[in-house]
Amino acid sequence: MRPHPEESAENGHLPDPDTEVIRLARDGDEAACHALVDRFAPELYRLAYFLVGNAADAEDVLQETFSGAFRHLGRFAELSSVRTWLCAILVRQAARCRRRRKRQMISLEEGTGGASHGAVLVRDETSSADLRMDLEAALDTLPEDHREVIVLRELIGLSYEEIAQTLDLPRGTVESRLFRARRTLRERLKDYMPGIR
């Protein structure tokens, strides 16, 4: 439940404990840098995986995210949480990765005389569960902006406000994209949900 405005006022703003870790890391504290990796890498990897659709690209995106974050620790303005800041970097890196992959696929299709059409997902070899594969395929067919919102909400658990900060969008846009993304996914995954219209 979103806190009522009066409740927020009573509690005040609690300091983000991760922000202190960032300050230490900025001062060159190696333990703080390691703590940031340990704290956020598993969740960010999950986010990367569901944004780009395969483990190899997800690892690259994660690596680029942390490289970028550590290079620009000074740019963290402490206006959002560390988690949101890192998610925002990762979403941008994932978008870049997807554009790169799309160009490669177009180039591959041109090389093979355009034999392949539609989205082709390079699957992780370790992925065998039908549900996961079908979910990945369903996510892959979503427009990029809907995919980002649904993954951040349903698989990472960010609040609307955090998603808005991460994607630099108005909250209302987050709501409408989430609504439409859920509608599309329900249609694509209805075999797993008997009774769905």
Site for another protein, rule CB under 8 A? 1-5, 25, 30, 33-34, 36-38, 41-42, 45-46, 49-50, 55, 58-59, 62-63, 66-67, 70, 124, 126-127, 131-132, 135, 150, 153-155, 159-160, 175-176, 178-179, 182, 185-186, 189, 192-193, 196-197
Place of tokens 């009522």: 4
Radius of gyration of the chain (CA): 19
Which of 32, 95 has the CB closer to another protein? 32
Which of 108, 196 has the CB closer to another protein? 196
Nearest distance, CB of residue 109 and another protein, angstroms? 28
Nearest distance, CB of residue 117 and another protein, angstroms? 27
Q: State the amino acid at position 67 in one-letter form.
A: S
Nearest distance, CB of residue 45 and another protein, angstroms? 5
Which of 32, 109 has the CB closer to another protein? 32
Torsion on CA atoms 87, 90, 96, 102, rounded to nearest 10: -90
CA distance 97 to 103: 10
Which of 47, 80 has the CB closer to another protein? 47
Angle in degrees, CA 82, 87, 93, rounded to 5: 130
**What stretch of H or E contains 56?**
helix 55-71
CA distance 191 to 186: 9
CA distance 68 to 72: 6
Nearest distance, CB of residue 120 and another protein, angstroms? 20
Nearest distance, CB of residue 39 and another protein, angstroms? 11
Which of 115, 129 has the CB closer to another protein? 129
